[in-house]
Structure 1
Amino acid sequence: MNKPSAIEEILTNRTRPKSPPAIQASATFAWRALLRIRYVPEQLFDVTVFPIIFLLMFTYLFGGAISGSTGEYLNFVLPGILVMTVSMITMYTGLDLNKDIEKGVFDRFRSLPIWQPSVLVGALLVDTLRYLIASTIMVTLGYILGFRPEAGFSGVIMGVVILLLFSFSLSWIWTMLGIIVRSEKALMGISMMFLFPLTFLSSVFVDPSTMPNWLQKFVDINPITFVVDAVRTLIHGTGTNGDVMIVIYISIALIAIFGPLTMYFFKNK
């Protein structure tokens, strides 16, 4: 008899292969997300073109009117626009997930003998890399335009780190909605309905003390305001470390709440 081929040996072998470790499975799905960017580089427009447009537009359109000098306004507004841009980019995590669900890809993933959260964790890790790219582009452009952080480059790094932590936690909300919502357009509408008021009604563009009292009350409890204040504290050395700790607590709470909810809907929907 002819010797059985390798495929025949695998098919006749009754021993179930071991499941890959969680880290390896997550890395595999992260690599899948990177390959998608490689073959469709247009996906990076939101982290390359948009930050540049936002920074140039708001600095030179409103800088002179608000601060009397575009240079002074640039130092104030860059941390805010950095938070706004990265926060708005987080919604694309849910949009990509929703596309995979519509195509039926996730039905196959859920049938695999792997650590199930790796499907989502891998994608979220790559999205965090996208947030880092957007932050790097914006800070680099800011330096070219004359941005000078009072806390130095180390303060900028710490500010970006705290922003990445918050963005990672915020992505879990859109990931959960990406599983629940039926269409990509509906998810985009929901995300913009929340992100636009939160980002514009905050301390991103102006000092809240210049706002009406009734508006200040909302701005003061806005999570985006906490993040902007924390990033400004680290970049310019103003404020207190309490601003940073509040953002850390908010990020942990978001992951603790929406992480399990996301996995529940992922397994049962």
Structure 2
Amino acid sequence: MDLQTHRGNLFMNTATMAFRNLLKTIHNPDRFMDVIIQPIMFMLMFGYLFGGAISGNVKNYLPIIVPGILIQTMLSAASGSGSQIREDLDSGVFDRFKSLPISHIAPLAGQLFADVLRLTVAAITSLATGYAMGWRPASGLGGIVVSALLAIFIGWSLSWIFALLGLLAKNATTVESFSLMIMLTLSFLSNAFIPIKTLSKTMQVIAYMNPITYVITAIRQILSTGRLTYDALLVLIFGVAIVIVFAPLTVWAYNRNN
């Protein structure tokens, strides 16, 4: 088999596996909730419950909470990658894949590429909900698109970490519990829902040590200026670094399991 044919088969196998994982998301209510129901519920609940207390009214609170919910949703959607991989390993479906004439890496690659579409749906849902509540960023449509792309990329880069967790964990329950703990810790100990200056000194230090704080700050800057700021470039580099470090580790763990 020549190189071009091998690449073509890898692409088709990966696309097939990605489609399979998307179907699993659609037919699994828990996975579907991560990308559709959760961002809508959190945006409405946090916006109308805390908007008046934190910013005086919901409209003034939306520039704070929309980027926060967007990134929280990216974390939640990305964490689903590890759970799905672990479930497939536990069910033995990966053993069946090994008997098929497909690329060895296609099941893993299909999962990670399916995550891009899941993250895209989650980002659109988050931003559309904020817009329906009256959020109007100064950057206009261009800033919304750029911020969404940055959020999706960061979410996809984090998917590699959760995929590695899924490959190393003993069962799907462990992956889900650990992923939920990571998501809640990173999102709530940041500037996602409140200004950091309102926190105590100790909590401010913790929030500034949280990388998600800088991701949210970068997205807020894009939405207010319509341009890629210095913080946004740092966040982009951060995402690339995650992929460079964790992609080989995830492939290694995948080969060890298969």
TM-score (norm 1): 0.87
**Cα distance in 1, alignment partners of residues 104 and 142 from structure 2:** 37
Contact preservation (8 Å) 1:82, 1:138: yes
State the Cα deviation string for residues 21-72 of structure 1 (Å, max 9, x = none).
3222211211222333455466322211111110001001001001111110
Consecutive unaligned residues in structure 1, runs of 5 or more: 1-16
Matches within 5 A, 1:135-150: 135-150=123-138
User: Highest Rg: 1 or 2?
Assistant: 1
State the Cα deviation string for residues 130-184 of structure 1 (Å, max 9, x = none).
1111211221221221101011111010000000110001011111111111111
More deviation in 212-221 or 235-244?
235-244
State the match for 1:101 in structure 2.
89
**Cα distance in 2, alignment partners of residues 143 and 240 from structure 1:** 21
| Cα drift, residue 213 of structure 1 | 2.1
Matches within 5 A, 1:64-213: 64-112=52-100, 114-213=102-201
**1:207–1:101 distance in 2 versus 1, CA, 3 Å:** same
Consecutive unaligned residues in structure 2, runs of 5 or more: none
**Cα distance in 1, alignment partners of residues 199 and 136 from structure 2:** 27
Q: Structure 1 residue 35 and structure 2 residue 27: aligned?
A: no
> What letter matches 1:213 in structure 2?
K
State the match for 2:253 in structure 1.
265
Q: Quick one: which of 39, 43, 66 aligns to 1:55?
A: 43
The number of aligned residues is: 253
Q: Quick one: which of 241, 244, 257 aligns to 1:256?
A: 244
Query: The residue matched to 2:240 in structure 1 has which SS?
Result: helix
More deviation in 207-216 or 104-113?
104-113
RMSD across aligned C-alpha pairs, in angstroms?
Answer: 2.1
> What letter matches 2:139 in structure 1?
A
Q: Structure 1 residue 228 and structure 2 residue 216: aligned?
A: yes
Identity over aligned residues, as a percent?
34
TM-score (norm 2): 0.91
**Cα distance in 1, alignment partners of residues 153 and 228 from structure 2:** 19
**1:41–1:201 distance in 2 versus 1, CA, 3 Å:** closer
| Cα drift, residue 115 of structure 1 | 3.6
